[in-house]
Chain A
Amino acid sequence: MFEQTEILTVSELTRQIKQTLEEEFLQITVQGEISNFKPHVSGHWYFNLKDSGAVISCTMWKGYNSSVFFTPQDGIKITVIGRITVYPPRGNYQFDVRSMKPAGIGELQSAFEILKQKLSNEGLFDEEFKKPIPSLPRRIGIVTAIDGAAFRDMISIARRRFPLVELVIAPSKVQGSGAAENLVESIKTLNRKKDIDVIIIGRGGGSIEDLWAFNEEIVVRSIFESKIPVISGIGHEIDFTISDFVADLRAATPSAAMEIATPDKADYFAFINDFLYNSGQNITNLFDNKKNRILDSIGSYGFKMPLDLLRRKSQQVDGIVYKMSVNFDKQFLMLKNKLSLLSKSLESHDVKKTLKKGFVLVKQDSKFITRSSKFICGKETQLEFFDGEVNLNS
């Protein structure tokens, strides 16, 4: 205790306190729990750091807090490095934070749980808000680091599966300070484009710190507000971020997200092959059906009628022909009989019968002499009896 020689003004005392404190606590490391965290529109952060016995108010200016990879939340423990400053007009002191990190991985985990619970209570993860993922996209928006392996993997998968699609990349930082704001801007930019069918937001694997941007509230909200369906593919299978919960669909990895977003062209080839086979089959069946109908018609009773009629007529004709031939034979026989009768009658008129009665035929020079005036006496004459000729030589 030094001996006081003069009376101090308030300002003089405050100046001495300020000098003493600020010189003594120029570069110190403190651990405590955040409370009453308030990010100001100016970009500066105001909060309290506390433990069970004390509380100290803190500021973190915009130029410093921009390098913090996560947004502080009430209730999580952090380790800060900074100095004590005294503000004379109010007569108070505060901690001017230069750098900040979570006191441990567990702190980030609890920050994660706190925000997740809060947004879940708000209904951001509800099934009713999940938009369907289009099955045949024309344009896929991608929010990721343009120089990352995740992007290259996504390109090769899109090229292999469905090269008809167009990838529209909205490049973004995916880790570290400013990543969250970047991601938000990229999601908004794609939403303004209007012709994007689905958005993939992704990055490759990393630590919880690396993936932290996807746990930031502004990112989660911008995914929720996206009019375009969002597929998340962040980290590896085991990594879950809050973005995964709010996304319309969560894929295990960026590659898996692209697999989900793109149809496989092999399926289309298979579909077309099936079409060609089945349709060919259908057409053949159709032809067979029609052919069978034609054959059925030909074989049907109705169709056979004309042929039967023909046969019947033909039979009729045969009958008539038969009848005619029978009649002919009958007629023939009759005529034959008549002929024989006539020939008998003729026989009865035979000249020989007359000769038998005692008549004689007279021939001279082989001619029958039918009247006395033709007869020449003394000439050679033949007399023909019924039983022979007699020569008369005069």
Chain B
Amino acid sequence: MTKKIAKDTFENKLDRLEEISHLLESDEIGLEYAMALYQEGIELSKDCISTLKVAELKITQLKKNLDTLTTDEENFFEE
């Protein structure tokens, strides 16, 4: 398992964290497995927190283009 977190989305990471949380609540879990999960959970936690902390709101403006089906995008403003 573990360690392919870099490519995953924030949502996937949260889901995995929740899953780990449930797994760790089980009484039947093996100690080595629990340790590995806990390790993974801590890494995911760090990852999620830093993602949230450094996130910058992105704003995109759609150009009005009534004649064609495509819409051009341009980076709007960052306040």
A and B associate: yes
Q: Within the assembled complex, what's the spacing in Å between the Cα atoms of A376 and B76? A: 156
Check B58 against A166 for contact (C-beta < 8 Å): yes
> Which residues of chain A have C-beta atoms less than 8 A from B56's C-beta?
163
| Chain B: interface residue total (CB-CB under 8 A) | 37
Assess whether B2 is interfacial by the CB under 8 Å rule.
no
Q: Is the CB of B71 within 8 A of A155?
A: no
Contact of A155 among B21, B41, B59 (CB under 8 A): B59
Contacts of B49 in A (CB 8 A): 269, 272
Q: Which residues of chain B (15-38) have a CB below 8 Å from chain A? A: 17, 20-21, 24-25, 27, 29, 31, 34-35, 38
Q: Least Cβ distance of A264 to chain B in Å?
A: 11
A190-B31 contact, Cβ under 8 Å, with A268-B52, A282-B25: no
Contacts of B1 in A (CB 8 A): none
Q: How far is the CA of A300 from the CA of B57 in the complex (A)?
A: 62
Report the minimal beta-carbon distance from A94 to chain B, rounded to whole angstroms.
33
A117-125, A167-175, A227-235 - the one binding chain B: A167-175
| Total contacting residues, chain A, CB less than 8 A | 39
Report yes or no: A276 in contact with B57, Cβ–Cβ below 8 A.
no
The complex places the Cα of A171 from the Cα of B73 at a distance, in Å, of 12
Q: Contact string, B27-71, partner A, CB cutoff 8 A, digits 1/0?
A: 101010011001001100100110110011111111011100101
Contacts of B58 in A (CB 8 A): 165-167
CB distance from B10 to the nearest CB of A (A): 6
Beyond A269-B52, A283-B35, whether A155 also contacts B64 by CB under 8 A is no
B76 A169 Cβ-Cβ under 8 A: yes
Q: Are the C-beta atoms of B60 and A279 separated by less than 8 Å? A: no
**Is A286 in contact with B41, judged by CB distance below 8 angstroms?**
no
**Smallest CB–CB gap between B33 and chain A, Å?**
10
In this complex, the member of A146, A166, A286, A287 whose beta carbon has the largest number of chain B beta carbons within 10 angstroms is A286
- Beyond A164-B10, A192-B69, whether A272 also contacts B61 by CB under 8 A is no
- A275-B21, A282-B24 known; A169+B59 contact, CB < 8 A: yes
In the assembled complex, how far is the CB of residue B75 from the closest CB belonging to chain A, in whole angstroms? 11
Closest to A159 in B: B57
Residue among B10, B34, B62, B76 making CB contact with A282, cutoff 8 Å: B34
Give CA–CA (A361, B64) in the complex, Å. 159
Instruction: Report the bound CA distance from A189 to B60 in whole Å.
Output: 13
Chain B residue nearest to A156 (CB atoms) is B79
Q: Is B11 an interface residue (CB 8 A)?
A: yes
Interface: B14 (CB within 8 A): yes
The closest CB in chain A to the CB of B62 belongs to: A170
The answer to whether residues A163 and B55 also contact, given A169-B60, A272-B45 and a CB cut-off of 8 A, is: yes
Nearest CB on A from B6, distance (A): 16
A304 within 8 A of B: no
A133-168 residues at the B interface, CB under 8 angstroms = 136, 138, 146, 152, 155-156, 158-159, 163-168
Closest to A272 in B: B45
| B35 proximity list for chain A (CB < 8 A) | 283
Q: What chain B residues lie within 8 Å of A192 (beta carbons)?
A: 69, 71
A276: which B residues are within 8 A, CB to CB? Answer: 41-42, 45
Given A165-B57, A169-B76, A272-B48, A185 and B64 touching (CB < 8 A)?
A: yes
Q: Which 7 A-B pairs have the closest CB atoms?
A: A163-B55, A166-B58, A282-B24, A159-B57, A163-B57, A164-B55, A170-B62
A-B contact pairs, 5 of them (CB 8 A): A166-B57, A171-B64, A276-B41, A279-B21, A286-B34
Known: A265-B52, A283-B24. 10 other contacts (CB 8 A): A136-B10, A136-B11, A163-B52, A168-B59, A169-B60, A185-B64, A190-B62, A192-B69, A193-B71, A283-B34
